[in-house]
Amino acid sequence: MPQQSLIGEFLRTADRHRNRVALAAKVDGEYRPSTYAETAERVRRLGAHLIRMGVQPGDRVALFSENRPEWAISDLGTLAAGAVLVPLYATLPAPQVEYILRDSGARVLIVTGQKRLEIALSVRANLPDLEQIIVIGAPAPEGTHAFETLVEEDAPEHRAESERRIAALGEADLATIVYTSGTTGEPKGAMLTHGNLLSNLSAMRPILRLTPNDIFLSFLPLSHIFERSCGSYLPLTTGAAIYYAESLFTVAKNLEEVRPTIMMSVPRLYENMRQRILEAASKAKPAQRALVHWALRVGHERTRCRLERRFAGPGLRLRHAVAERLVLRKLRQRMGGRIRYFISGGAPLSREACEFFFDLGVVLLQGYGLTETSPVVAVNRPEDPRPYGIGLALENLEVKIADDGELLVRGPNVMQGYWRKPEETQAAIDAEGWFHTGDIARMDPDGHLHITDRKKNLIVLSTGKKVAPQPIEGRLSTSPFIGDVLLLGDRHSTIGALVVPCFDALREQDGLAGLENAELAASPVVRQLIRAEIDRLSDGLAEFERIKRFAVLDREFSLEAGEITPTLKPRRDVIMKHFAAQVQSIFAREA
């Protein structure tokens, strides 16, 4: 009988593949695996202990952690109690942690590491709903619980209740609330049911043709629904193994150690991998450098033949066989040598970077989705990977292009709504059940979707993180020295800004009196002052929301030039065009 919940699906898989590796992470410099049987037992024990603590079906359990096996166990253990998981990004500052915990009404918080524990303890007094804190990877102070104790000690008197709750779960039951930034900046909790997520898994599994022999390298934060669904639930309901990368800086090493068959990531990682390969080639001896570049050119010729549906002649096939033996195969070995697919999501990947992996003989699949769609809407297919567009829509959902060009989605993957935000829910999901993505799209004659623009100004970094600019711009404009500010960063790795200073206020500062606007904009003193103001007003922002680079402009935005509307709202596209040189200077040094 098919399971109707994520936890039921996992436990069924665990029973089938008891002795296979489920999760593995580095311990004392070596990967230490945990089998499906061991993992399932820890999940069951945690679920029973949460029930012992008073957690009721539908209660919210928050998880504030980096990627590690305990993340997946906490997630599934929460579901085993019939509760709802609320994930928090591991890098969130205290104000945002407090907001999400309060808004969700979380009764339990599972937290890893001393730094995050200190944040949790600092906000606990302000959160009347928060009753229990469970600590991973740090000493558990009085009034908290040690995670390891909970998963090592059974709670038999509550185990039967956990089993009853698991059996009672259905597709309509809420599984998780995932907070995502809105255009107003106030995080909104997308309510995803077991059925939402299971529908996405059932559509993705045949596309990827997964087997229990697959090995996933987990890199993206599991608080990101893309990694959680496709990089955790998908393998754990298939019988595949998940190995956790140690950190951002060790991914290249972990690829060679783990030798995964599948990895999900955002464009930034793939762009960095490409850059490292090209940099290494540029530092090689002349003969070796020439050989690598020759092999890449041959690989590109082969790629173009495939994309243009042209026959590769015997000469090209021979040259490609030589390039494969001497260079391309060795380059793939640096990625472990067993990659079946790299999957890219969260932001657009450049065609140049995508084709580079095709040239190497690696299948890289671009996809598209949103938190609200559980998440995948479309993905390129392995049998026809393309370096552009986001592929075909999943077969169990509907898509259409609205009259204004916005992509609309309808299907079993669409969220229930936003937690405690009925007006925002009504604005996002219309009366006919269509979810309005906010992205402008087109569909080509083959049915492949292409995202061409964003309907709203939400900034999507190349890391996949989303930044709502307006609240940050408003905060910075409270400075006596900052008049207007426009945040930038779409498809870049960090946030930048165009800053219009308050020229008159600057002239009142020592050494700046009498300077013209252009002189003020070019002054190192002014730049230092603006930098200090940006830093001062950035307290409470997440690291990825902070402005790393900025340009000081020598004039205000103009209504006459079309840079602002009659209601004084900035026209981003016009401003970026008029100040193109300054925009380029902000991101010129980006690696």
Confidence of residue 266 (pLDDT cuts 50, 70, 90): confident
Cβ contacts of 211 within 8 Å, gap of 6 or more: 238, 239, 240
Q: Rounded CA gap, 84 and 173, in Å?
A: 9
- By CB atoms closer than 10 A (0-12, 13-18, 19+), residue 12 is middle
Confidence bin at 429 (pLDDT 50/70/90): very high
Report whether pLDDT(561) > 90: no
Which of the two residues, 539 and 185, has the higher pLDDT score?
539
Of residues 500, 425, 496, the one with CA closest to residue 190: 425
Q: Which amino acid is at 184?
A: T
In the chain, the domains with their CATH numbers are: 6-170 (3.40.50.12780), 268-337+340-454 (3.40.50.12780), 468-587 (3.30.300.30)
Average pLDDT along the chain: 93
Q: What is the pLDDT of residue 215?
A: 98
For CA atoms 10, 14, 16, 20, the dihedral sign is: positive
Phi/psi for 212 (5° steps) reads: -60, -15
Torsion of CA 329, 334, 339, 341, to 10 degrees: -100
Model confidence at 346, pLDDT cuts 50, 70, 90, reads confident
Write out pLDDT tens, residues 123-144: 999 999 999 999 999 999 999 9
How far apart CA 274 and CA 282 sit, in angstroms, is 12
Over range 378-382, report the average pLDDT.
Answer: 97
- Answer left, alpha or beta for residue 541, where phi above 0 means left and psi between -120 and 50 means alpha: beta
Q: Which residues contact 567 (CB under 8 A, 6 or more apart)?
A: none
| Token pair recorded at residue 48 | 């029973």
Q: Measuring CA to CA, which residue among 414, 410, 404, 405 is closest to residue 432?
A: 410
User: Which DSSP string do the residues of 358-413 spell out, in sequence order?
Assistant: HHHT--EEEEEE-GGGSSEEEE--TTS--SSS-BEEPTTSEEEE-TTSEEEEESTT
Neighbour order of strands in the sheet with 547-552: 482-488, 495-501, 547-552
The two tokens of residue 206 are 């045949």
How many CB atoms are located within 10 Å of the residue 318 CB?
A: 11
- For the ranges 33-47, 181-195, 228-242, which has the lowest average pLDDT? 181-195
Condensed to tens digits (0 to 9), the pLDDT of residues 56-100 reads 999 999 999 999 999 999 999 999 999 999 999 998 889 999 999
Higher pLDDT, 83 or 590: 83
Q: Please report the pLDDT score of residue 566 as a whole number.
A: 46
Secondary structure (3-state) at 118 = helix
> 7 with 80: CB under 8 angstroms?
yes
C-alpha distances (whole Å) from 470 to each of 184, 474, 539, 565 are 7, 6, 16, 15
Question: Is residue 591 predicted with pLDDT exceeding 70?
Answer: no
Q: Is pLDDT at 2 greater than 70 in this prediction?
A: no
Spatial separation of the C-alpha atoms in residues 282 and 284, rounded to whole Å? 6
Q: What is the pLDDT of residue 590?
A: 59
Per-residue confidence band for 181, with pLDDT thresholds at 50, 70 and 90: low
* Residue 463 and residue 489 in contact, taking contact as beta carbons nearer than 8 Å: no
The DSSP code sequence of 225-263 is HHHHIIIIIHHHTTT-EEEE-S-GGGHHHHHHHH--SEE
Is pLDDT of 392 > 60? yes
